[in-house]
């Protein structure tokens, strides 16, 4: 199956900056839809490394499997050597929010030529640090980072969010992996004496859902991950259950058993793509996955 790629699409006025561009992958079997839809994969890399090109193979496999366009954005990164003016949170998440807002006026390749209808259906995938970014945008972080508040039309467009091997509670992370403070946390968030509590997305509230379909969430974690431990994902999953009590069935899902590879190796395996495909089908009403409570 052929997959077409459009590379280096700018999403800000800084058209020549590769860190503010995205790639689009479209299957030859993608179907034109009145309600334009796409998957978005946001790469990880500890807020300081990786590039959209690193995930071209995953994007192609997702496009082939789901028959949906797959968009992979870059964002600006924190420097690996400390300088006086470090690029820090929420800057990375702000770039991703700017990208998502850009999609409101960008025509997906699966749409008829010459059209530029808003993207009306998005499923977002955040891996590692980008799970924290997506949670900072789509949960209520206004008391800490008000610039990350998404517009109502974007909230309406996002139907599902997948978060894999995520970082959610930085304080808890540093208790388990204290060397991460000097490695990347202090660079990305600054040196703090409050245990990074303001940035604990597993304590954030929901954003207002009046007038829109609630977002479905899937939290994934591999038992073989030695870089981020399962308590991070367990705490995030528990919080989503708490926030959506009474309406969680089929909407708040988790799987901590199917993935059996290391932190980034899961992105190269077939099981990750299969889990995303199942979730996409569920969000679009095509499949019914197991209830979250029955998953491993």
- Residue-wise pLDDT tens digits, 132-159: 999 999 999 999 999 999 999 999 999 9
C-alpha to C-alpha distance for 87 and 52, rounded to whole angstroms: 19
**pLDDT of 111 strictly over 80:** no
Structure tokens at 151: 């517009």
Structure tokens at 9: 């699409």
pTM (two decimals)? 0.93
* Domain count for the chain: 1
Kindly report the number of other CB atoms within 10 A of residue 140's CB atom: 17
C-alpha to C-alpha distance for 126 and 6, rounded to whole angstroms: 21
pLDDT band at 112 (very low <50, low <70, confident <90, very high): low
pLDDT value, residue 291: 45
Kindly report the number of other CB atoms within 10 A of residue 20's CB atom: 20
Write the CATH number for 84.
3.40.50.1820
- Residue-wise pLDDT tens digits, 182-192: 999 999 999 99
Q: Is the dihedral of CA 141, 50, 267, 197 positive or negative?
A: negative
Residues 6+ apart with CB under 8 A from 33: 110, 111
265: containing domain: 3-294
């Amino acid at each position: 199956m052929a997959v077409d790629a459009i590379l280096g699409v700018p999403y800000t006025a800084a058209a020549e900056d590769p860190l503010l561009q995205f790639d689009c992958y479209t299957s030859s079997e993608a179907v034109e839809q009145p309600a334009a839809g796409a998957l978005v994969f946001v790469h990880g890399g500890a807020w300081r490394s990786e590039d959209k090109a690193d995930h071209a193979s995953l994007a192609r496999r997702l496009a082939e499997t789901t028959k949906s366009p797959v968009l992979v954005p870059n964002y600006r990164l924190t420097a690996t050597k400390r300088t006086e003016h470090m690029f820090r949170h929420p800057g990375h998440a702000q770039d991703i929010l700017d990208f998502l807002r850009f999609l409101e006026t960008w025509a997906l390749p699966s749409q008829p030529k010459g059209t530029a209808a808003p993207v009306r259906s998005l499923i977002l995938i955040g891996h590692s640090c980008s799970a924290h970014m997506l949670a900072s945008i789509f949960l209520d972080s206004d008391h800490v980072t008000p610039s990350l508040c998404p517009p109502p039309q974007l909230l309406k467009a996002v139907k599902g969010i997948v978060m894999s091997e995520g970082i959610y509670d930085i304080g808890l992370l540093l208790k388990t992996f204290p060397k991460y403070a000097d490695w990347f946390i202090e660079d990305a968030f600054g040196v703090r004496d409050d245990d990074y509590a303001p940035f604990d997305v597993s304590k954030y509230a929901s954003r207002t859902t009046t007038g829109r379909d609630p977002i479905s969430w899937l939290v994934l974690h591999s038992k073989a991950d030695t870089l981020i431990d399962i308590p991070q994902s367990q705490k995030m999953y528990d919080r989503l259950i708490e926030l959506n009590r009474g309406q969680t069935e089929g909407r708040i899902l988790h799987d901590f058993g199917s993935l059996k590879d290391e932190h980034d190796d899961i992105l190269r395996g077939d099981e990750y793509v299969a889990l995303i495909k199942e979730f996409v089908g569920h969000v679009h009403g095509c499949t019914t996955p197991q209830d979250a409570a029955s998953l491993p």
